[in-house]
Amino acid sequence: MRDGVSASGPITPREALEMVLRTARRAEPEDCPLEDCAGLVCAGDIPAGRDYPFFSFSSMDGYAVRVADLENASADNPVSLPLAGEKRAAAGAPPALPPGFTLRVMTGAAVPAGAEAVVMREQTREGESAITFFGPAVMGANINRAGEEIAAGARLLAAGTVLTPPALGLLATLGHSSVSVYPPPKVGLLTTGDELVAPGVDLLPGQIYDSIAPMLSAALRAAGVAQIEARRCPDDPATLQAAFRDLLAGSDIVLTVGGVSMGDYDHLVQVFESAGVEKIFWKVAQKPGKPLWFGRAGGKLVFGLPGNPASALVCFSLYALSAVRSFIGLRECGPRWLEGTLAQAVENREARVNFMRGDYAPDSVGGYSVQPARGQVSYMLGSFAASRALLEIPSGPLRLEAGARVRFLPHFWGGRL
Ligand code: AMP
Ligand code: MG
């Protein structure tokens, strides 16, 4: 890693990720309704406000009894107890169970005071006014006891827990309707280029559709980002300047797309500088995605993504997404690489990491076999849409034979199952 925070020449992908993660800040915690919290991180320890279960309840449809009343019951010596009433899972206290009686209880019903066990309905013979039992009752059988899972004051969820569906269910169990989380960043997305038009309209010669805005909006939404402001701009410095400043003012993270290479109409770097964004690095020794620009303005982050669709997706996924994950307080923010064995030889003639699209499958020794896909050119998205993995071929020049070990990201954007 270069010293300080700013680098001028191409840096390695590893250095780039480290710089992004060192620069990215966690959001300030906010209270958030449970329905909007999936995948977010709990900002503080949450104690249980009460015992749970709140009251002892039956885990079966059956009959509440005192153990002593069925002490002598057996198949040969059935015992009948008069029925004192019924309690279903509903508001209201159950009637007490008088000695020598039984009470019909449904699953979830509070067990009556005095009841020591619930006998399953299937194990009885049910009459109009009396129930017959064919064996003794076991103390506590089929009763979930008040407070047996959670004691009031105990930690319900620890700070840093990801709010998975069961974690959200647990909060709701104890009556929480909101929770303190690190809210996702507001993201501004600026696609740039005189050639771009929105999908759906007729094309003039030389025009192409802006495929990256819908792609990255979807990727952001999948990462939990709901507030996305997307704009499309021609390659005009003044227009770009105004749009960028506007997005920067209203966002925590701005992603620009295109215009960061060395072309005559690549104005974005100039736009960043004149808007006071501090450069942290420009250019990463990788393919695709070498021209990536990264900087910060106060606590806000700016990613200048290259315009080729595959390059934009790789840079977004390896770096910008890690910043989003850091923002929402996740502990592991970088991509989670696995290792696999190449199914065929691969050559990398260039002195930069080659991130290849490919597939993976379990091999016969409990690992994975990985295979590059066809269609690795930077403008091609078809191979990403059709394959499941991103392979990391180390910086060359080198040739890896079939059987060599390489890192890969499984489920790269879902892919084909
Ligand atoms: P640039 O980085 O602006 O030089 O763009 C590199 C390549 O990506 C060019 O072929 C552009 O036409 C293409 N490109 C840039 N932005 C987009 C976009 N939003 N959607 C699709 N292609 C794009
Ligand atoms: Mg361009």
Residues with Cβ within 8 Å of 257's Cβ and at least 6 positions away in sequence, in order, are 189, 190, 191, 192, 212, 213, 216, 305, 306, 307, 312
Write out the chain's pLDDT in tens, 417 residues: 444 456 666 999 999 999 999 999 999 999 999 999 999 999 999 999 999 999 999 999 999 999 999 999 999 999 999 999 999 999 998 889 999 999 999 999 999 999 999 999 999 999 999 999 999 999 999 999 999 999 999 999 999 999 999 999 999 999 999 999 999 999 999 999 999 999 999 999 999 999 999 999 999 999 999 999 999 999 999 999 999 999 999 999 999 999 999 888 899 999 999 999 999 999 999 999 999 999 999 999 999 999 999 999 999 999 999 999 999 999 999 999 999 999 999 999 999 999 999 999 999 999 999 999 999 999 999 999 999 999 999 999 999 999 999 999 999 987 654
Instruction: Classify residue 288 as left (phi > 0), alpha (psi -120 to 50) or beta.
Output: beta
Distance 307 CA to ligand 1 centre (A): 4
Backbone angles phi, psi at 281, to 5 degrees: -155, 160
What letters, b where the CB count within 10 A reaches 16 and e where it falls short, cover 179-193? bbbbbbbbbbbbbbb
For residue 192, give the ligand 1 atom closest to its CA: 16
Q: What is the DSSP letter of 227?
A: -
**Half-sphere exposure at residue 257, Cβ-oriented, CA atoms within 13 angstroms:** 31
DSSP state of 318: I
Bridge partners, residue 353, by sequence = 286
The token duo for 77 is 């010596």
Q: Which helix (H) or strand (E) holds 247?
A: helix 237-250
pLDDT in tens, 372-384: 999 999 999 999 9
Burial of 216 (0-12, 13-18, 19+ CB in 10 A): buried
By most ligand atoms within 8 Å of CB, the mutation choice from 231, 257, 313, 315 for ligand 1 is: 257
Q: Which residues surround ligand 2, an ion (CB under 5 A)?
A: 193, 258-259, 307
State in Å: Cα 325 to ligand 2 middle: 28
Helix (H, G, I), strand (E, B) or coil at 162: strand
Ligand 1 pocket by Cβ (under 6 Å): 191, 193, 195-196, 208, 210-212, 257-259, 261, 263, 266, 306-309
Q: Which ligand is nearest to the CA of 258?
A: 1
- Three-state SS for 320? helix
- Ligand closest to Cα of 193 equals 2
Those residues whose C-beta lies under 8 Å from the C-beta of residue 242, and which sit 6 or more positions away, are none
- CA 222 and chain centroid, separation: 8
Ligand 1 pocket test, pick from 190, 208, 265, 305 with the greatest ligand atom count within 8 Å of Cβ, gives 208
Q: How far is the CA of 177 from the centre of ligand 2 (A)?
A: 46
Distance 292 CA to ligand 1 centre (A): 13
Q: Which ligand is nearest the CA of 195, by number?
A: 1
Report the alpha-carbon distance of residue 58 to residue 143 in Å, rounded. 5
The C-alpha atoms of residue 144 and residue 141 are separated, in whole angstroms, by: 9
Confidence at residue 416, expressed as pLDDT on a 0 to 100 scale: 56
Q: How far is the CA of 194 from the centre of ligand 2 (A)?
A: 7
Mutational test site, ligand 1, from 379, 380, 381, max ligand atoms within 8 Å of CB: 379
Task: Yes or no: say if 188 and 243 are a contact pair by the CB < 8 Å rule.
Answer: no
What residue spans of 360-399 are helical by DSSP H? Answer: 382-386
Integer Cα distance of 49 and 385 in angstroms: 47
Residue in this structure with the two tokens 């780039």, named with its chain if needed: 16
Residue whose structure tokens are 């690795």: 376
Whole-prediction pTM value? 0.90
